[in-house]
Structures are given as C-alpha cells and as structure tokens.
Amino acid sequence: MADLMPGIPSVPGDETSWAAAVDQFETLKKGDIPLSLTNWDASTTIPAIAAGSAIEVAGGVYRYPAEQSIITPTATGTNYLMVSADNGACECTATPPIWRDDLNGWYYANALYRYTGHVMDWDGANAYTNKRVFTVDGPGGEVLTIRHDGSLPEINVDNLTAGAITSGDVDCGAITSGDVDCGAITSGDVDCGAITSGDISAADITCDSLDVTSYASWEGVYGSASVGSSGWVIPGGAYVIASFGDTGGIAMLDIKDNSGTWVSSSGNDITNAAVGFIVSDGVNYRLRMSTAGTATVHFRKIW
C-alpha cells in the first residue's frame, strides 16, 4: 500500500526562511520519479513497484515502504504503467501518454494518472514481454522506446515516419549479416536512386538474398533486329537469341579489341535456328552476317 506523504507542515519559526525552503522542495519534487520495478528483465513475470520507491503525482508524493503489486492489464498488446493520484495504485493502460507542462510529466489524457515511463507487452494470459522504457526528445517529441537492458528495439515501419532517415543517419559499415530481414522489404521500401557505388558489396549478396520469381520482367522482352554484313551492334543487356532468320548463313559474333578493331570471335557463331546467350555492354559486341544479304535476329532481352 502506498503512503501519501504530507504537504507543507505548519510549525513555529522563521516563516520567511521556512517558506523559502518549502518552496524549494515543492519545486524540486515536481515530476520526480525515484521509482524502481522488480522483474524488470527478460523474464515474462509481471513486474511490481520495488520497496523503497516513490513517485510524485499531480503534486502529491507517494512512497512504497513495501513491494506494491501492479493491477493486471485489461487489454492485450502494449501496456503503459501509470500511478493514480487518488491512491497511488499502479495500473496499466494501452493509451499513450500526453505531456502536461503544468505537472511536468506524462499523464493519461486529462486525468490525474502519472506514467512511470515503463512499457511492456501482455499476451492476455500470464506473459509480460518486451519490457522497455520510453523517453522523448522533448515535450511533444517523437517517442523512442528503450529495452529493459538499455538496448534499442528493431526498427520497423511502425517506428518510422516518411523522410525520418536521411543521408548520414545510418552507418552502413555497422550493418552486418542478420541485421536486416530482407523478407520484410517490399516494393517501395527502398529508393534505388539513393544507393550509390560502394553501398553494397557484391560479396554480401548470396543466392538466398535474391528472389528471382519476384522479378516482374524475368521472362524477358521480345525483340528483333536486322543483321547484314556490316553488323548489328548489340545494345546493352543480356539476350537469349531464339533464332536467326536466314536460310543457312551464320551470324558471326564480333568483339572489339583494345585498339577498337572488330575481331571475329571464333567458335561463338550462331547458326540458323540455334539458341545462344549474349551479354553486351552496348559498344563492343556485334552480330554480323557471314554471307551477303540480311537476316532477322529474334531474341528476348532478359535485362
């Protein structure tokens, strides 16, 4: 049971000095929370207010000579701990607090319930998990939750507002394997235009990291090109050559050497109706007819 400490006593003496001392005490106690909880750890046990704790609520100071149990929550999920100004009882609520300038603390709406700063999750039965405390940048600022051991919880979509993370906020070198759940990243979560050279190491990308079935144009885009003896410079990309529409000629695959001269790549020619795979940079690879006339190359550009 919490004890409500008495207010300003009336005693004989130097009234001016006594009033000044009392005024100092009243000013300093406003918003004070010398309060600790038991079971505030990784266990699933419901916490309690530890013996010897105290808290100021709306001008009154409650102290707890003995351990004070917390009233069982009524709603599952996130629960904030708060103390009533009426009797010092510690209750739970799913309602986030609001800042009261006049009381120098976080309170329940306009009611006189002082939030202790502790937050936890309740499963509706006997498990109390994810025990943490909340702090703020300032009255009305963003709420930041901190675990019972002082660590920060994982960042997820619910924690962030659009534009909250800007360049320099994240040290990419501090991100290691397991820090990011790639399965939680969906279309629109990443601005690819913001990724620059050096942000991603190819060595960090494994086959498990890529879901090729989600690539919308994986089946490729059909196209065709007319090829003659002067050749067709293959645009940048990867191509599957499905067929070569002449009646018997051979498509020569030419590659530029370091001097810029076209050189035939022996052994990589594509005959009529054959299938080939070509990756081009858009400059240094071409297909050329080995005989007079022209023919049509049929292909699918994969990327």
Residues 71-104 have pLDDT tens digits of: 999 999 999 999 999 999 999 999 988 888 888 8
Would the pLDDT of 138 be above 50?
no
Contact 287, 280 (CB under 8 A): no
* First CA to last CA distance, the chain: 71
The percentage of residues in the chain with a pLDDT greater than 70, rounded to a whole number, is 56
Structural domains in the chain, sorted by start: 3-147 (2.80.20), 221-301 (2.60.120)
> What b/e string do you get for 3-34 counting C-beta neighbours within 10 Å, with b at 16 or more?
eeeeeeeeeeeeeeeeeeeeeeeeeebeeebe
DSSP state at residue 70 = B
Which residue has better confidence, 43 or 268? 43
Contacts of 81 (CB under 8 A, 6+ apart): 37, 47, 70, 90, 91, 92, 115, 116, 117, 118, 119, 120
Q: What pLDDT, in 10s, does the model give residues 22-35? A: 766 666 677 778 89
Per-residue pLDDT at 214: 46
Would the pLDDT of 216 be above 50?
no
What is the helix (H) or strand (E) element at residue 27, kind and residue range? helix 15-29
Per-residue pLDDT at 49: 96
Per-residue pLDDT at 140: 42
Total-model pTM = 0.46
Alpha carbon 117 to its chain's center: 23
Would the pLDDT of 5 be above 80?
no
Per-residue pLDDT at 225: 84
Which residue has better confidence, 206 or 111? 111
The tokens of 34 are what? Answer: 């010398």
Q: What is the average pLDDT across 174-191?
A: 66
Contacts of 297 (CB under 8 A, 6+ apart): 224, 225, 226, 227, 232, 241, 244, 245, 251, 287
Would the pLDDT of 129 be above 50?
yes
Average pLDDT, the chain: 75
Sorting pLDDT into bands at 50, 70 and 90, what band is 164? low
